[in-house]
Homo-oligomer: A and B are copies of this chain.
């Protein structure tokens, strides 16, 4: 942030009185512009024990598979956001929605909220942001072609819970290795 969204004057990074961290403060009108993490809401949806995945038609991660999910909009509830994203990306409506997994990604300042549920009447199709939508049984999940680590984590938890017959809401943190170890060539 370089300029004040309120008055257009240059922004200064400084610690306001009574605060303990640097904020974007306007040099003219004095307004403090706080920044906060973003919420991404999505769905793990079953139909005949298979899971609905979407192949991304947009960057980042064009061509990779993901769960229907996206940024929560203003004036939405979490559930509305998850349903809207599912409709937009997979043209699917949802039955029996229940909260499943919440994953904080502190390095990206994001919180993922995944619900689980069922594809209504088994109807789905690629939306504008998807190249393809398909149902995968557990052994066929394209683990090495998943777009996001959060999707991998949420699916693994889902299958563990489904196997045990007990679904619990989980809250997890995901830290991205800053300097991943280079793989040795064999």
Residues of A within 8 A of B (CB): 1-8, 10-11, 18, 21, 33-39, 71-80, 99, 102, 104, 106-107, 109, 111, 113, 128, 168-169, 171, 173
Task: Determine if A102 and B104 form an interchain contact, defined as CB atoms under 8 angstroms apart.
Answer: no
| CA distance in complex: A10, B8 (Å) | 8
15 A-B pairs besides A37-B72, A76-B104 with CB distance below 8 A are: A2-B7, A3-B3, A3-B6, A3-B7, A5-B5, A36-B38, A37-B73, A72-B111, A74-B109, A77-B106, A78-B102, A78-B171, A79-B173, A80-B106, A99-B169
Q: Provide the residues of chain B in CB contact with A171, threshold 8 Å.
A: 78-79, 99
Instruction: Kindly list chain B residues whose C-beta atoms are within 8 Å of the C-beta of A168.
Output: 169
Bound form: Cα–Cα A77–B36 in Å: 12
Q: Which of B5, B33, B35 contacts A74 (CB 8 A)?
A: B35
CA distance in complex: A39, B71 (Å):
13
Tell me the bound Cα distance from A128 to B77 in angstroms: 32
Q: Which one, B4, B36, B38, B76, contacts A3 given CB within 8 A? A: B4
A153: min CB distance to chain B, Å: 14
Shortest distance between the CB of A73 and any CB in chain B (Å) = 7
Contact B99 A18 (CB under 8 A): no
Whether A71 and B107, one on each chain, are in contact in the complex, defined by CB atoms closer than 8 angstroms, is: no
Whether the Cβ atoms of A75 and B106 lie closer than 8 Å is yes
* CB<8 Å pairs between A and B, sample of 19: A2-B8, A5-B11, A8-B8, A8-B10, A34-B71, A36-B38, A36-B72, A37-B73, A39-B111, A74-B109, A76-B104, A78-B102, A78-B171, A79-B104, A79-B171, A79-B173, A99-B102, A99-B169, A102-B102
